[in-house]
Each structure stands twice: as C-alpha cells, then as structure tokens.
Structure 1
C-alpha cells in the first residue's frame, strides 16, 4: 500500500546517549533517524516487536559503546537537572 506522507520538522529533547544509540542503529540499518523513530512508534502502537533478534544484538552493542544501561522501566523515572 502506497500512502502519501506529510512529514514535519520537529525539535524534540532526548537524552544524549539514547540519541547516539538511535543514530548508530539508524546508520547500521541504512535509514534515517526519522524513519527509524516512525517505525518504532508504529510497531509499538500495534504492540508488535520493532526489531529482529539480529537488530536487538546490534542495539546491545551500541548501548555498551555509548554506556547506556537504562531499560523501559527507567523511562518513567527520568529526572532532569535544571540549572
């Protein structure tokens, strides 16, 4: 099914190491960061896994490289230091 899409530029705030992992993953999958995020969101909306076992292994490697040890549970506990 070919559907016309209308994309918009957005300025989101995201944790630095998480962004590095996402950018690295997008690069390894030869896609844009925006395409990766869209795919993750659409899969999660349908409660479907977004990644193959091979991709999950790549994510583990990238998380080690960028020292990202958070899990899904941590997302509800983020606190930001405000200056």
Structure 2
C-alpha cells in the first residue's frame, strides 16, 4: 500500500453520469472517490478500467438512469441557458 494525501474538491458533473458512477461505486463496494481515482489512473496508462462483467453492469445502470451520452459527446456538452 502506498500512503497518499487526499483533498476535498468540488466538481460539477452531468447529473445522470454522476448517478451511474455512484451506483457503480456502491455495486463495487467502494467510495466514489476511489472509483474515480481508479478510472483516471487506468486511463492515464491507456488501460481498460473495467472487466467485461463490470461493463455489463455499467450498461444496465446507464439504462436505469437514462444515460445516453457517449465518449463522442465528451467536450461537446453545454448546460441549459449557457
């Protein structure tokens, strides 16, 4: 185990995406912060963050929370009124 220092941050994120991430963290029995750290660290190394079984769970959660955004939508999102 490596010792690290965590900081509290305020991050704005799309509502349905957050719901999927929180539900996935709960499913994996980890905190949302731990999940996000893992996703980022895998992405930084160009590695797949999730097993096929977890990807199936994510697909199911996307349906539950009506998350229709994809990677193609990244950096193309705007908020209502902006």
TM bucket (normalised to shorter chain) is over 0.9
Q: How does 1:16-55 map to 2 (within 5 A)?
A: 16-55=15-54
1:73 match:
72
Structure 1: which 4+ aligned runs deviate by more than 6 Å?
none
Q: TM-score, with normalisation over the residues of structure 2? A: 0.96
Which residue in the other structure is 2:61 paired with? 62
Q: TM-score, normalised by structure 1?
A: 0.95
Shift of 1:82: 3.3
Identify the residue that residue 14 of structure 2 maps to in structure 1.
15
3-state SS of 1:76 partner:
coil
RMSD, matched Cα: 1.0
- The count of aligned residue pairs is 82
Distance 2:28 2:55 in 1: 12
